[in-house]
Amino acid sequence: MRVKHWLALGLAFVGQTALATCGDEDGMCETEAGAYQIELPAAENPPLVVFLHGYGGTGTGTLKNRSMVEPLLDRGYAVMAPEGSTRNGRQSWNFFPGWEGRDEAAFLNEAVQDAANRFGIDPDHVVLSGFSAGAFMVYYLACAAPDTFSAYAPVSGGFWRPHPETCEGPVRLFHTHGWTDNVVPLEGRILGGGRFHQGDIFAGLEIWRVANECEDTKPSGFSTTGQFMRRNWMGCAEGSALEFALFPGGHTVPTGWADMMADWYEGLPGS
């Protein structure tokens, strides 16, 4: 049986309050710029999946998604759930260029290094993932500094309009999205009385293809994994990877995503 280095399965309750977990200790892991929670597998020097919660979410909420967390732990990944910064009175991520607030890229780097020092996670094998607003953060960090982490796996989020003119590259990115997502629709939507406009997911994929110097716009291959319909682009820059998976549901982290994403990541050169 897998050894779990977290307290009371990481989800013990006192009344209605879930206990935070910092490895095998109660409470959050604190850094200079913020805080995170983490669950560890039995393996030493494990790879890490950093999963960013959505708007109004918490790290505790992330770790309560056991259908996502358990498969990753079983495969030997540590799972980190950072706490977002406060925007409009709720926790989210300071992702859009020009917004004032915490330097999220610096915080996430700090959190990963802290976990490497405390728990021995492998800082060279880190997948940055996230849901909804967390996925927006993944997109913008990967666009600006793709070498920050080993790979990127956003779920149900992308760019906002105006889309970036260019992104740095190459990048290794696996985007998952629901066909019937009405919170972050594939075509985007207008928010805040017209102040914000979520971007078009397919336009975002075009930006990634340009960043990855792909030879063609059409996918190189198609496949299915359970409920997921997948397409990928090859013939791109060395070291890059780009894949898109649709599932029939809405705005959620779908069942089966963790194993599918880990299979993709483990199939990349050097992972």
CATH number, domain of 180, equals 3.40.50.1820
In a domain, 184, yes or no: yes
What pLDDT sits at residue 19?
A: 62
CA distance 12 to 251: 27
User: Pairing state of beta strands 172-178 and 241-247?
Assistant: parallel
In a domain, 87, yes or no: yes
In a domain, 1, yes or no: no
Query: What is the tally of structural domains in the chain?
Result: 1
In a domain, 140, yes or no: yes
pLDDT per residue, tens digit, the chain (271 aa), is 344 433 333 333 332 335 678 988 889 999 999 999 999 999 999 999 999 999 999 999 999 999 999 999 999 999 999 999 987 789 999 999 989 999 999 999 999 999 999 999 999 999 999 999 999 999 999 999 999 999 999 999 999 999 999 999 999 999 999 999 999 999 999 998 999 999 999 999 999 999 999 999 999 999 999 999 999 999 999 999 999 999 999 999 999 999 999 999 999 998 8
DSSP string, 96-159: STT--S--HHHHHHHHHHHHHHHH---TTSEEEEEETHHHHHHHHHHHH-TTSSSEEEEES---
CA distance 262 to 268: 10
In a domain, 92, yes or no: yes
In a domain, 187, yes or no: yes
What pLDDT sits at residue 20?
A: 79
In a domain, 64, yes or no: yes
Q: Which domain holds residue 149?
A: 7-266
In a domain, 2, yes or no: no
